[in-house]
Each structure stands twice: as structure tokens, then as C-alpha cells.
Amino acid sequence: MASHESLESYRVEFQPKVPHALRDISTLSFVNEHRVTVDEEIRSLLSHLDNDWVLKCIPSTVVFPRAPLRVGVVLSGGPAPGGHTVIAGLFDALHEWSPESILIGFEDGPRGLLKNAARQLTQEEIDRVRNTGGFSLLGTGRLKIESAEEIAQVAATVQSHNLDGLVLIGGDDSNTDAAILAESFRSQGIHTCVIGIPKTIDGDLQSPEIPISFGFDTACKVYAVTIGNIGKDILSSKNTYFFVRLMGRVASHITLECALRTQPNMAVISEEVAAREMTLPDLVHDTADLVEERYAAGRPYGLVLVPEGVIEQMANVKQLIAELNDLFAPSHHMSSAIKQCQTLTERLEYVSDTISEVSRLCLSMFPQAIKEQLVYERDPHGNVQVSKIETARLLALLVQAELRTRAAHTGTQTPFSFQTAFCGYEGRSSFPSNFDCTYCYSLGRLATSLIARKMTGFMAGITGLHLPVSEWEPHAVPFASLLHFERRGGARKPVIRKTLVDLSGSLFRYFVDHRQAWRLCDNYLQPGPLQFFGPPSLVDTPCLSVTLRSSTLP
Ligand code: FBP
């Protein structure tokens, strides 16, 4: 139990504001807003769902009959600050709809749906976790619901609870599963509606009606605190480089947002690396140039941000990783032999003998520790576990070697000492920012409203997040409009499309316009801790990725 003076006791009492459109959930309506384009193959996969329109939620005067609702909720994938507040929003709205409504929580992510590990959530439990971080209320997991048997098991689970709705709080992978479940339930006449909530600190689950996924705002603010503090430390000692790796499995939204908040000397953006077809040696050269230029300017120290996902985006590493992913896919004839290898070294040897000559050459560039990290298991969705690969250390070590090579040619050694840091797991479970609390509470209310109207196969989306909360506009976004095909686990699969950093977008252009000035100077910013009390400009303002993208930049 939180002690009276703890921050937690204040956070659980925080009351998020509610958009005008979601205030009275008994009367609001959903109306067609605009048509969406849907891939024909996706349309035929989801042929029982309403795929063609994004709907907008508007206040109305029509009063709906209000029978109690039975709704299930699952937290899925990596934690993100605000998950508990989505559940609180769901719970409150369900009880506003009818005091007899019931919210059932499935435990440990999708596994809870498969195993029917569930419990009815009580007011007391909800009140204890409102606006607190992490997914500890129910736990989470990355299990993929894919086979016909698994889908049938989940159908049996929802029927055993006679659920009117199932809310999946997850990222692109979990919401892909939600789309398949929605289609399967509808096609079998199961009345359970499936609604997705856009979660991921990576910020790459976006659409025109989903400006950002929840958790991104808080995670970036938490990471910016660490980076800003490291910047101060660097300027105090003036003799060390810090290479800070940041989460973001594919997209570099987190790194870009943190760069704008802290103004490092260099921030690698994976999307730019991919677009320029840069190789690992190219990146090493660029970074070694930075070190030499700063040394020449009397600054033998610096701050470099590295997104964890860059490892997969470098031209020469891409093919290696694609080959490894295929080898690890359960469908590959060698995957079980690889799993039987007793040690990582054994596994590495086995794999090296199997991959192409080009990839073997690429692998040989890496230090042994990184080679072993590259052959870790893939996650259940076939993704490389980039959080376990020390990309910042790899870059720093290769820069050190490059500077030695250059010194051997020029006879002048550039001093270079470095440290590494990882902004990762701690950002996923921090107390959510006021913005994330407000956003998540609204998402929960929106999910309840959709289920109450028997709508299925939609993701909850809210636009206007840069405006006052009362003006936020809730939407229902068909899953079909978000899906495309990708190669995963050695096969072509439907998955929700990730939104990458837009290299022609205003945010990236702002970064490009300023990064040269940050390169040689010491312009680091120190944003300081995430604030919950004080002037609205300090406590309520959303991340730059929301505010700058929506404004006209100078
Ligand atoms: P989600 O997409 O599930 O929200 O997870 C994002 C993330 O935090 C990535 O940034 C990171 O690469 C990954 O999860 C780490 O996953 P794990 O918890 O399995 O180590």
C-alpha cells in the first residue's frame, strides 16, 4: 500500500480530463468520417469486418439502451506507461454505462487468453493502480496467437465468460492478432467485439487518426532526463564520450524526440541510415570524424545517441539479419538443430557455416560478444531482440579501432575514452506523464463506447492531441486499414504496418537544420525530471513529436 506521502498516493488520485466527445458515453454516436484504402488481400482475410470507413465519435442526443456489459482486457507486449490508466478508463466507463458491468483481466498477456487465466477486476484493485506505471496489474507477454487451435482456444475462453468485448492493449504485433481474432469471432457468429488500443513506447504505431501510441511521451521524457544529466556530467569532466543506446526496435522516433530535447553532438536515425544505404563502416567513419573534429576544436568529449534498431538497418548488416531470421524461423528445417546447440559459441559456429559468404564476411566484423548477441532467440513474432544487442558499445569500440588505424597512417592519435548507457526498460514502467494519463483514460472510455455499440475490428484513435483536451476527437480505425504484408519468421504474413520516421517530415527537417550547430558546440539541454505538479506548460505539454508535428516550424 502506498504511504500517504508517497508520489504514488498522489498519482492514483490524479483525475484525467475527458474530451468533450467522450463525456457522456450513453449518448455519443459514431459516424462515417472518411473512406480508407485497404489492400485487397487484407480485405479478403478480414471479409467479415467493416473495413472501409474511419468513424468519428460525436456527442449526440440519441440515448442507447444500457444493458450491463461483460468485457475482457489483456495487456500485451512490452510495458508502456499508461496501461493501468487505460484499464481505469475502461472500468469507469463500463460502470457509467451500467453499474452491473464487469471487467475481466486476463493474466500474463495473450497467454492468459489461451489458458483462460482470468479474474474479475474490482474497484479496489483499479483504484490502487490508477496512473501508475508498468503492466503489473495483470502482467504481460509476447505470445503470438496464430494457429487455428490457438484461435479456437481463445474463442472458447471469451465464450466461457460470455464477453461482449475484448480489449487488446498492445503494439503492432498484438493488434495484428486482435484483427485476426475479430475476424474469426465474427465469422463464427461469436458476439464478442474486439477492440485494439495503440500501445508502444516505440511510437511507431500511428495512422492519421492515431498521432502517437501511448507510452511514447513518458518514455521519451524519462530518457531525456538521463541523457540531459549525462550531458551535464560530460561537461563537468570534459574527457569522455557517452554513447547512449535508446529503445526503438525498428523506428527511431524515440531517438529523434530525445535528440530534440537534449541536443547531443550526434544522433543516429535508423531511417536515414537505411535511406542513405549506409554500412556499419560508414557509420563508424562518420563518428570517428566527429571525434576528430571535436578534438581539433578543443573538445575531447561528446554525446552520441544510438537507436537500438539501427543494427538491422545498416546496408551490410540487413542481409545477415534477414538470413539469420529465416534460419531461426520455426518452419526452417534447421531451426531445431540450431536450438539444440548447447552454447552460444556452438550456435554461432553452426550458423556461420550455413549463411551466405557475404553474410559470413559481415559477421566477422563484429566482436565475439556482439556475434553471440546476434544469434539469440527471436521473439515469438520473429523479431530480433535488439534490446539485447549492445549496439552503442559496438559503435564505440569500432570508432576506437578506426581512430587507431587513422593514427597509424597519420602518426597523430586522437584521444578517445568512452562510456555507454542504455535508455531502455526503465522508461516502459515509469509513472505515466499527465499527457499519457489523460490520453490513456480517454482511450479506455473510447473502447467501452465502441463495445457498447457492438463495433468490432477497430483500433481506438484520438486526434487533436496538441489541442486542449476538451477538443480531442475520438475515432474508430478499421484494423484492415493498418495492415500490410511483411516477411516474418521465414514467411509472408499480415502485420500492422510500422510508421517510421518521416525523413521529409517537419520533425526530422527541424533536427537536420539544427544538428550541425550541435555537432561541435556544447549545447546540451538538461530537461530535468518528469513533472506532475506545477504550471500546465511544465506538466501537461505533450512530447515534441505531437506538438511540433502539428505546428508550422520556423
Ligand atoms: P512493444 O512494441 O511490445 O511495445 O515493445 C517495445 C520494446 O520496448 C522495444 O523498444 C524493445 O526493443 C523491446 O520492446 C524489448 O522487448 P523485450 O521486453 O522482449 O526485451
Domain coordinates of the chain in residue numbers?
A: 28-215+432-481, 216-428+505-547
Q: Are 103 and 93 in contact (CB under 8 A)?
A: no
Mean pLDDT computed over 198-219: 97
Q: Is the pLDDT of residue 181 over 80?
A: yes
Cell of 339: 536450438
**Is the domain 28-215+432-481 a CATH 3.40.80.10 member?**
no
Q: Of residues 108, 172, 202, 436, which has the active-site annotation? A: 202
Nearest CA to 327 out of 370, 279, 376, 274 is that of: 376
Dihedral (CA of 224, 225, 230, 231) sign:
positive
**Residue minimizing CA distance to atom 6 of ligand 1:** 78
Length of the chain in residues, anyone? 554
Nearest CA to 235 out of 528, 519, 521 is that of: 521
* Beta carbon of 77 within 6 Å of any ligand 1 atom: yes
* Beta carbon of 386 within 6 Å of any ligand 1 atom: yes
Nearest CA to 223 out of 434, 501, 437, 527 is that of: 527
pTM above 0.75, yes or no: yes
Q: How confident is the model at residue 56 (pLDDT cuts 50, 70, 90)?
A: very high
SS3 222: helix
Give the list of residues 6+ apart from residue 315 with CB closer than 8 angstroms, or none: 274, 277, 278, 279
SS3 letters for 57-73?
Answer: EECCCCCCCCCCCEEEE
Task: Please indicate whether residue 343 or residue 477 has the higher confidence score (pLDDT).
Answer: 477
Cell of 463: 486526434
493-549: pLDDT as tens digits = 899 999 999 999 999 999 999 999 999 999 999 999 999 999 999 999 999 999 987
Mean pLDDT computed over 48-69: 91
DSSP per residue, 98-127: -TT-EEEEESTTHHHHHHT-EEEPPHHHHH
CA of 77 to the centre of ligand 1 (A): 7
How far from chain centre, in Å, is Cα 120? 28
**What is the structure's pLDDT at 245?**
98
**Residue minimizing CA distance to atom 15 of ligand 1:** 387
Other beta carbons within 10 Å of 484: 12
Q: Domain 216-428+505-547 adopts which CATH fold?
A: Rossmann fold (3.40.50)
User: What number does the ligand 1 atom closest to the CA of 428 have?
Assistant: 8
Residue 202 is among the residues annotated as catalytic for this protein: yes
* Beta carbon of 202 within 6 Å of any ligand 1 atom: yes
Mean pLDDT computed over 1-30: 88
Task: Please indicate whether residue 61 or residue 175 has the higher confidence score (pLDDT).
Answer: 175
Q: Are 246 and 308 in contact (CB under 8 A)?
A: yes
Cα separation values, 201 from 77, 160, 196, 222, 475, Å:
11, 33, 16, 11, 21
Nearest CA to 106 out of 135, 128, 130 is that of: 135
How far is the C-alpha of 84 from the C-alpha of 82, rounded, in Å? 5
* Beta carbon of 28 within 6 Å of any ligand 1 atom: no
SS3 215: coil
* Beta carbon of 78 within 6 Å of any ligand 1 atom: yes
**What is the structure's pLDDT at 553?**
45
β partners of residue 29: 58
77-95: pLDDT as tens digits = 999 999 999 999 999 999 9
Nearest CA to 140 out of 158, 117, 122 is that of: 117
Cα separation values, 338 from 301, 306, 324, 349, Å:
43, 30, 11, 10
CA of 489 to the centre of ligand 1 (A): 17
**Residue minimizing CA distance to atom 1 of ligand 1:** 78
Give the list of residues 6+ apart from residue 417 with CB closer than 8 angstroms, or none: 239, 240, 241
How far is the C-alpha of 506 from the C-alpha of 334, rounded, in Å? 46
Q: Is the pLDDT of residue 334 over 90?
A: no
How far is the C-alpha of 36 from the C-alpha of 481, rounded, in Å? 6
CA of 273 to the centre of ligand 1 (A): 21
How far is the C-alpha of 306 from the C-alpha of 393, rounded, in Å? 10
Residue 42, sorted as left (phi over 0), alpha (psi -120 to 50) or beta, turns out to be alpha
* Beta carbon of 80 within 6 Å of any ligand 1 atom: yes
Same fold, 28-215+432-481 and 216-428+505-547: yes
**Mean pLDDT, the chain, whole residue set:** 93
**Residue minimizing CA distance to atom 12 of ligand 1:** 249
User: What number does the ligand 1 atom closest to the CA of 199 have?
Assistant: 4
Q: Are 369 and 390 in contact (CB under 8 A)?
A: yes
Q: Are 518 and 227 in contact (CB under 8 A)?
A: no
Q: How confident is the model at residue 386 (pLDDT cuts 50, 70, 90)?
A: confident
CA of 144 to the centre of ligand 1 (A): 14
Cα separation values, 444 from 123, 156, 391, 476, 482, Å:
15, 25, 36, 13, 20
Pocket test for ligand 1, best of 428, 430, 498 (most atoms within 8 A of CB): 428
How far from chain centre, in Å, is Cα 218? 12
**Residue minimizing CA distance to atom 17 of ligand 1:** 78
Mean pLDDT computed over 345-372: 87
The region of weakest confidence among 304-308, 328-332, 413-417 is 328-332
Q: Is the pLDDT of residue 315 over 80?
A: yes
DSSP structure class, residue 129: H
Query: What's the order of all strands across the beta sheet hosting 473-478?
Result: 29-35, 53-58, 473-478, 458-463, 193-198, 165-170, 70-75, 102-106, 118-120
How far from chain centre, in Å, is Cα 486? 18
Q: Is the pLDDT of residue 96 over 60?
A: yes
Specify the DSSP element, H or E, that contains 364.
helix 357-364
User: What number does the ligand 1 atom closest to the CA of 215 have?
Assistant: 4
**Residue minimizing CA distance to atom 19 of ligand 1:** 78
Four-CA torsion 345, 348, 353, 358, nearest 10 degrees:
-140
How far is the C-alpha of 551 from the C-alpha of 547, rounded, in Å? 6
**What is the structure's pLDDT at 2?**
52
φ/ψ of residue 11, rounded to 5: -65, -40
How far is the C-alpha of 374 from the C-alpha of 386, rounded, in Å? 8
CA of 371 to the centre of ligand 1 (A): 21
